[in-house]
Amino acid sequence: MKVCMVSSYPPNKANLAEYGHYISRELAKNPVISELTILANAHESAPRETKNGRLRIIRCWKTNDPLTPFNILNQIMKFGPDIVYFNIGLLSWGDGRIVNFISGLTPILTKITTKAKVVITLHNVGDITNIDRVGFIKPNFVNKAGCRAITSLLLRAGVTVVTLKSYAKFLRQKYGEPDVRCIPHGTLRTSVKKPRTGGNRILAFGHWSKSKNLPLLLETFLDLSKKYNDAELTVAGESHPKFRNYLENLREKYRHNRIKFLGYVPESGLKRLFLGSTVIVLPYLTSTGSSGVLNLAMAYGRPVVAPDIDIFHESIREQKTHIELFKNGSKNSLAGAIEKILDDKVLQMKMAKGNLKASKNYTFDKIADRYVEIFKRLVKHDVYERKQG
């Protein structure tokens, strides 16, 4: 089976590049897939084409380029895959609404102009995202109408996969599309056997933007540092591409000898970073989809503090994750949740073991296998239809 995967890809950051790397790495190992070609976005430090075994990467499109659909379709027609798999969000293609709408037509155009079957992982659903809190989208009529239109077209392009059951239920009810599946986000397969406890080290990690509400944690830590003389806060990651200099401005504002801004951390440094932390804090105002940081915390067996918003309630319910919830936007509630974990090593171990155990059910190799099952059914059905014809 030949598969083309359309995704942002490292060394690009954010816009699902990391997810694209993790899932493609496992897909390429599956013997059912004879050839996996990633149609990725260009990067100044990466060659246009690379090949490693069955995995080929072709950087054929650019962020903010309205010609993206044509460049991608040209490659799809060239390779003639059985499956075209899109790893996207509604805003994966650029900064403006027009380029995102135009490029968002690529899956439906693939269905219309090629013989390939289309599978889409749609990481966010605009209708149920708190647009007011995202920070770079105005919640006006034009944006909402465009969001609904492109979502409808994506659903008609092929099999749509979302990472939350609530998203799947909403799309089925709102758009009347029955062929929406739920496959969880996925976690790294790590060598962690027994979680560690102790210390007062707090970690905040991610691609930082306004909706991640980092100032809330920074302000909370300033208070906590008066109680815990050895408390440390590490902020790892970079500003989200749509919020350039966001983190740099916060670094200037919050100068403190126990607040460390670490910057970008490569995959090779994740184990040391997470295992060296007592608790992982997600101070988000809202979320546009499943939290990759939560899944990393699970994989490394760390306690998590997060706001009481729907996706974390669902994660506790569906994935059996161990999360200490706080009242969204409340500094006092956040401080209380962090203190509860720092002051109780028994609770730390319980949460750490629970998250590590839960992560084993959702490792990327298992998630990739579920996608391959969808691919196989689509190709088998296509062959049957041709024989009947």
Reported as a single tens digit per residue, the pLDDT across 264-286 is 999 999 999 999 999 999 999 98
Is 192 within a domain?
no
pLDDT above 60 (res 131) = no
HSE-up of residue 349 (Cα within 13 Å, Cβ side): 8
DSSP SS3 for 121 = strand
Alpha-carbon gap, residue 208 to 245, rounded angstroms: 10
Reported as a single tens digit per residue, the pLDDT across 135-192 is 556 768 888 888 899 999 999 999 999 999 999 999 999 998 778 999 999 999 998 9
Alpha-carbon gap, residue 209 to 213, rounded angstroms: 7
Per the model's pLDDT, the better-predicted residue between 251 and 386 turns out to be: 251
Alpha-carbon gap, residue 57 to 7, rounded angstroms: 10
Is 195 within a domain?
no
Lookup: tokens for 284? 């988000």
Q: How many domains does the chain have?
A: 2
Alpha-carbon gap, residue 67 to 77, rounded angstroms: 16
Query: Same domain, yes or no, for 253 and 167?
Result: no
DSSP SS3 for 231 = coil
HSE-up of residue 317 (Cα within 13 Å, Cβ side): 10
Query: Same domain, yes or no, for 172 and 159?
Result: yes
Q: Are 6 and 86 in contact (CB under 8 A)?
A: yes
Query: Same domain, yes or no, for 59 and 177?
Result: yes
pLDDT above 90 (res 4) = yes
Give the C-alpha distances (Å, rounded to integers) separating 108 from 126, 326, 387: 18, 41, 25
Is 194 within a domain?
no
Query: Same domain, yes or no, for 32 and 82?
Result: yes
- Count the residues in the chain: 389
Alpha-carbon gap, residue 129 to 151, rounded angstroms: 13
Is 243 within a domain?
yes
Query: Same domain, yes or no, for 92 and 169?
Result: yes
Is 249 within a domain?
yes
CA torsion sign for 309, 312, 316, 322 is: negative
Read off the pLDDT of each residue in 321-338 and give the average, rounded to a whole number.
97
Per the model's pLDDT, the better-predicted residue between 36 and 97 turns out to be: 36
Lookup: tokens for 13? 């950051």
Query: Same domain, yes or no, for 52 and 94?
Result: yes
CA 372 to chain centre: 20
Give the C-alpha distances (Å, rounded to integers) separating 387 from 262, 306, 378: 58, 53, 14
Q: How confident is the model at residue 385 (pLDDT cuts 50, 70, 90)?
A: low
Q: How confident is the model at residue 9 (pLDDT cuts 50, 70, 90)?
A: very high
Query: Same domain, yes or no, for 171 and 91?
Result: yes
Beta bridge partners of 3: 36, 83
CATH number for position 327: 3.40.50.2000
pLDDT above 90 (res 14) = no
Residues 6+ apart with CB under 8 A from 383: none
Query: Same domain, yes or no, for 74 and 167?
Result: yes
Q: What is the pTM of this model?
A: 0.92
Query: Same domain, yes or no, for 168 and 232?
Result: no
Query: Cα-flanking dihedrals φ and ψ of residue 117, to 5°?
Result: -85, 140
Query: Same domain, yes or no, for 370 and 350?
Result: no
Query: Same domain, yes or no, for 206 and 106?
Result: no
Domain extent at residue 337 = 201-362
Instruction: Report the helix count and the strand count for the chain, using DSSP H and E.
Output: 15, 14
Alpha-carbon gap, residue 85 to 107, rounded angstroms: 9
Query: Same domain, yes or no, for 208 and 89?
Result: no
Is 336 within a domain?
yes
Read off the pLDDT of each residue in 363-381 and give the average, rounded to a whole number.
94
Reported as a single tens digit per residue, the pLDDT across 345-356 is 999 999 999 999
